[in-house]
Amino acid sequence: MAGDEGWASSCPALLENLSLLSPQQIELAKMLLKEGQKHLFDDWSGADVDVEKKKAFFYQVALLDSSYPGGLASYIQNAKKLLADSKAGKNPFDGFTPSVPSGEVLTFGDENFMKLEEAGVKEARHAIFVLVAGGLGERLGYKGIKLALPVETTTGKCFLQHYIESILALQEASAKLAQDELLAKIPLVIMTSDDTHARTIELLDSNSYFGMESSQVKLLKQEKVACLSDNDARLALDPNDKYKIQTKPHGHGDVHALLYSSGLLEQWKEAGRRWVLFFQDTNGLLFKAIPASLGVSATKGYNVNSLAVPRKAKEAIGGITKLTHADGRTMVINVEYNQLDPLLRATGHPDGDVNDPETGFSPCPGNINQLILELGPYIEELKKTGGAIAEFVNPKYTDSTKTAFKSSTRLECMMQDYPKTLPPSSKVGFTVMDTWLAYAPVKNNPEDAAKVPKGNPYHSATSGEMAIYRANSLILRKAGVTIAEPVKDVFNGQEVEVWPRVTWSPKWALIFKDVKEKVNNKCSITEKSTLVVNGRHVALNGLNLDGTLNINAVDGAEVKLSGVVLNKGWSLEHIDYKDNSFPEEIRIRGFKIEKVERFEVN
C-alpha cells in the first residue's frame, strides 16, 4: 500500500481493498465516503475475496456517475434535499395558486381544424419524432414490451408498426404538399431502458423496421438510478448481493438529457429541422391528433405545445394548470394526477379534484404527454440545463414519523416538467382535442380496469382497441357515411361501446380531407361489419357493407368499391382474461375475433 490513504481511515473494510482500485475508482470511492455512503463498504471482505464482484461494484458506480447530469454526487445531494422536503411535508407548489389556463380548443372536422391539419402535414417534414418507451408497464403487467402489443386485433398491427407507418405516411404527404423533390426522411428516436431495449431492437429487426430505413431510427437507452434507503440518502444495496446497488427507473424525463448528450439535436437543426414531437408507447389514436396540433405549433409559434383532452376528475393523467406565484410569476404546467388533488385542497378548493357539475369534467384539461417543442429554443434551454429536469421523490413511509421507508425509493423525473425552467418569455401553450379522437392508452390490467369508477376511462387493452373502431367510425360518419349505432357489451368486466370494426392504414387517410375525398355517394356500414382498408388509392363509392370487407391495394392500383357487400362477417367472442388457453395479448382484451366469412379485394 502506497500513498496517502488517510481519507479511507474511517472505513477499514475499504482501506483493506484499496490495492484493488484504479485511480479512477479511488476517486469514486472518495466521493462515496464524502457523500455519506460508507455503509456500502461495511460488509466487504478482505482484498483477496470477491475480487470480480468488487470490480463489478465500481463498474456500476461509474455508470451511475456518468449517466446522471452532474454525477452521482449531485444525485445524492439532490436526494438529500428532496427527502428533507418530503419529510417536512413541503408542498412543491408552495406559494402558487392554480387556475384554469386557456389554450387552443379544436373541433374535429371544422374549417379551422382542416386548415390546421394541412399546415401540420406541411410542417411534418421538419419534424423529429421521439418515442419514450423505457417503461416497464407495471400497471398493465404484460410480459412483453408494450410497443409489440396489437393496437387492435382486426389487423393485429402492433403499436410500433402503427407509429412507423404513420410517420412514413406523414413524411410522404408532407413532401408532396410542399412540392419538395427531396423526400426528407423524418427521424424517429426511441428511448428504451434495460427493461425494453433488446426486445425493441428485436421487434424492429424481425420486421425490417416496418418499412422505415434503419438509419432513420435511433435508439437511446436510459439508465436506471440508485435507490435510496433512508432520509440521509444512503444508497440501497441489493438484498441478495452486497456488491450491487439497487436501481430503479428514473422516469421519462430522462429523454431530454439523453437527447442533449447524443448531439443529434444540433445536427438536425443544421439540417433545417424545426420540431421535436414526443409521444408515448400505447396511444393508438395519437396520430389522428398530430397533424392539427403540429399545425397549431406552427401557426401560433409555440415553443412548447402540449396535447390535452378533457379530463375526468381523478383520471390518472396530469392536469394542465396555470400556476400563479404570490410574487407574480406564472407558468402553464402539468400538475401530475397525484399532486392535483392536494394542491387544489390547499388553495381553497375543499373538494379537491372533482368534476365541474356543469361540464362533467375536471376544469383542467388532461395532459396526454404528447409534447411538441420548437427545436431552436429547445436546444438553447438544454445548453443551460444539460437536460436536467426537476425531480421529485415519493417515499412510502412506515409511519407518521416519516423516519423509515417501507421499501427503497429513488428520484424521478417527468418529461412534461421540461417547461418548469423556461424563462417567462417562452411561448408555452396547449391544444385540446376530443378524447375519442386523440387519446386511448393501454395502461391498466383487466382486473384494475374493471374497478375504474363508472364513467371514467378504463385505459385498458379492451378500451384501447374499441377506441380505434369508434374514432374511425365517427370520422367516416362525419364524412357522410351512414354508420350504425354502437352496441354496449361487457368484456373483462368493462362495459364498452362496440362500433363497426373500421380500420385503415395511415397511407389511405392521414387527415380528414383525405377521408372526405375518398368517401362518396351514400355509403353505409352496419354494426356487425368489419372494414379494413389497406392501400393508397381506394375509394368507397356508394358502398353498403353488412359483413366483413378487406381491401388490399398496392400503391399504384386505383380501387373503387361500390354496391352491396353482404356476408356473415367477423364477430367478437367473449373470453376471460384468466383463460390461459389464449395468448396474453388476446385475453387481456376479453374478446377474440371469430373470422367467419369475409369478402377480400386484392
Ligand X SMILES: O=c1ccn([C@@H]2O[C@H](COP(=O)(O)OP(=O)(O)O[C@H]3O[C@H](CO)[C@H](O)[C@H](O)[C@H]3O)[C@@H](O)[C@H]2O)c(=O)[nH]1
User: Where along the sequence are the contacts to ligand X (CB under 6 A)?
Assistant: 132-135, 191, 193, 249-252, 280-281, 316-318, 334, 336, 367-369, 414, 416, 441, 443
Closer CB to ligand X, 408 or 534, in the complex: 408
State the minimum distance, in angstroms, from the CB of residue 362 to ligand X: 13
Q: Specify the 3-state DSSP secondary structure of 207.
A: coil
Closer CB to ligand X, 120 or 251, in the complex: 251
Strand partners, 405: 397
Dihedral pair phi/psi, residue 232, rounded to 5°: -85, 10
State the minimum distance, in angstroms, from the CB of residue 142 to ligand X: 12
Q: Can you read off the three cell numbers belonging to residue 550?
A: 378487406
Residue 106 in contact with residue 164, Cβ under 8 Å?
no
Closer CB to ligand X, 55 or 139, in the complex: 139
Q: Which of 238, 27, 32, 353 shows the shortest CA–CA distance to 11? A: 32
Classify residue 581 by its DSSP letter.
T
For CA atoms 47, 49, 53, 56, give the dihedral sign. positive
Closer CB to ligand X, 28 or 411, in the complex: 411
Closer CB to ligand X, 133 or 285, in the complex: 133
Residue nearest to ligand X (CB): 135
Dihedral pair phi/psi, residue 549, rounded to 5°: -130, 125
Q: Can you read off the three cell numbers belonging to residue 58?
A: 465500481
State the minimum distance, in angstroms, from the CB of residue 82 to ligand X: 17
Q: Specify the 3-state DSSP secondary structure of 41.
A: helix
* Length of the chain as a residue count: 602
Strand pairing report for 494-498 and 487-491: antiparallel
State the minimum distance, in angstroms, from the CB of residue 444 to ligand X: 10
Q: Specify the 3-state DSSP secondary structure of 3.
A: coil
Closer CB to ligand X, 29 or 227, in the complex: 227
Closer CB to ligand X, 203 or 532, in the complex: 203
Report how far apart, in Å, the C-alpha atoms of 88 and of each of 48, 78, 84, 229, 494 are: 45, 15, 6, 18, 41
Closer CB to ligand X, 134 or 291, in the complex: 134
Closer CB to ligand X, 416 or 472, in the complex: 416
Q: Specify the 3-state DSSP secondary structure of 578.
A: coil
State the minimum distance, in angstroms, from the CB of residue 364 to ligand X: 11
* Alpha carbons 381 and 385: distance in angstroms, whole number: 6
In the block, cell 389511405 appears at 508
Closer CB to ligand X, 37 or 463, in the complex: 463
Dihedral pair phi/psi, residue 184, rounded to 5°: -70, 125
Closer CB to ligand X, 193 or 297, in the complex: 193
State the minimum distance, in angstroms, from the CB of residue 389 to ligand X: 12
* Alpha carbons 293 and 290: distance in angstroms, whole number: 5
State the minimum distance, in angstroms, from the CB of residue 356 to ligand X: 20
State the minimum distance, in angstroms, from the CB of residue 132 to ligand X: 4
Strand pairing report for 487-491 and 519-520: unpaired
Count helices and strands (H / E) in the chain: 17, 32
Residue 573 in contact with residue 524, Cβ under 8 Å?
no
* Alpha carbons 90 and 86: distance in angstroms, whole number: 6
State the minimum distance, in angstroms, from the CB of residue 197 to ligand X: 11
State the minimum distance, in angstroms, from the CB of residue 316 to ligand X: 6
State the minimum distance, in angstroms, from the CB of residue 461 to ligand X: 14
Q: Can you read off the three cell numbers belonging to residue 459?
A: 385505459
Residues 6+ apart with CB under 8 A from 347: 96, 97, 98
CA contacts within 13 A on the Cβ side of 417: 20
Report how far apart, in Å, the C-alpha atoms of 18 and of each of 44, 58, 247 are: 12, 12, 25
CB-based burial, 158-196: b 16+ in 10 Å, e otherwise: bbbbbbbbbbbbbbbbbbeebeeeeebebbbbbbbbebb
Closer CB to ligand X, 249 or 291, in the complex: 249
For CA atoms 158, 163, 164, 165, give the dihedral sign. positive
State the minimum distance, in angstroms, from the CB of residue 135 to ligand X: 3
State the minimum distance, in angstroms, from the CB of residue 246 to ligand X: 16
Closer CB to ligand X, 280 or 462, in the complex: 280
* Alpha carbons 291 and 118: distance in angstroms, whole number: 7
